[in-house]
Homo-oligomer: A and B are copies of this chain.
């Protein structure tokens, strides 16, 4: 119908276009509590105002991924409603912590378009920014999706493929103002190992698993105001509601507490692939690999670059088969930077 949102099709995007996404959202202690109910979230900086203050912040921020999901959710009606596939992420940065009471909105700039050779679909790259009520950018990231054309005869646009970094450089990372790990309480954080104890190439099996339920992923996805019907409507997808990829990211990240409890703040998202779809009834497990380490310039605050892999049960440390394709049990392969006490 004319008054409902049909979503955008490939021919509706052009490089340079700025999309102002709808429905700003004030995030509060309510969202924080729900994040702890939905995920086994135990990172102390996001659990305790006292712990956060001891680290130089005014109070405990909204979980980095919760803020990401809020920003991301707003883009769905304009970017991915007619998407065939979520192809990738790059150059994601957390620039300011989000605190209870902040109001977030999102905008995206189209930075690339490329019609596929089949003429029926194309790839769209957008750089999305999440802004708070003071118009400060709190999060930014690039995402690209494959989108259907509405009219197969619409002419192909000039191809523009943006140059994107394989990974953020340490100097790209923004350490929140005031963050200070000089009196970091390792016992309270639940983990004795610090930045110096992790070696590049080291792999960690996070051991725990969570069998996911329909009600849970729908509660989570709605909370971020991502209302794409693939996640909710069983008449639309009789084979099973597809679980929002961000639910898998948050589940894996929070499971990684067991072994990476001091990887407190996420500051960079280098890339990510939703390797296989996730459905209710799957048991999500996670493992990590230390890809890199860097200093941040802030005394006491180190950065670790981590691969975070979510699997459907299965063995840890297995990722791809011989021809380079993800194994069927791999759900997520995420590459991010986090801050850790030195």
Contact = CB atoms under 8 A, between A and B. Distances in A.
B32 A48 contact: no
Interface stretch (A118-126, A138-146, A210-218, A319-327): A210-218
A166 interface: no
Contacts of A20: 187-188
A275 interface: no
A303 interface: no
Given A207-B1, A216-B215, A50 B32 contact: no
A208 interface: yes
A105 B42 CA distance: 13
Contacts of A30: 28-34
A174 interface: no
A150 to B, nearest CB: 16
A37 B39 contact: no
A313 interface: yes
Interface in A191-233: 191, 193, 197, 204-211, 213-216, 218-220, 222-223, 225, 227, 229, 232-233
Interface stretch (A87-95, A151-159, A255-263): A255-263
Nearest to A42: B23
A190 B7 CA distance: 12
Contacts of A3: 191, 193, 197, 204, 259-260
Count of identical protomers in the assembly: 3
A129 interface: no
A103 interface: yes
A24 B60 CA distance: 11
B36 A189 contact: no
Nearest to A262: B3
Contact of A47 (B25, B34, B207, B209): B25
Contacts of A257: 227
Contact of A22 (B38, B260, B261): B261
Given A47-B225, A133-B50, A204-B3, A241 B188 contact: no
Given A3-B204, A23-B48, A50-B103, 12 more contacts: A4-B206, A4-B258, A22-B188, A23-B188, A28-B30, A28-B33, A29-B100, A30-B32, A42-B227, A47-B225, A211-B214, A213-B215
Interface of A: 1, 3-5, 20, 22-26, 28-34, 36-42, 44, 47-51, 60, 77, 100-101, 103, 105, 133, 187-191, 193, 197, 204-211, 213-216, 218-220, 222-223, 225, 227, 229, 232-236, 241, 257-261, 283, 313
20 contacts: A3-B197, A3-B260, A22-B42, A22-B44, A23-B47, A24-B44, A24-B50, A24-B188, A26-B47, A28-B33, A33-B33, A34-B34, A37-B219, A38-B219, A40-B232, A50-B103, A209-B229, A209-B233, A216-B218, A235-B313
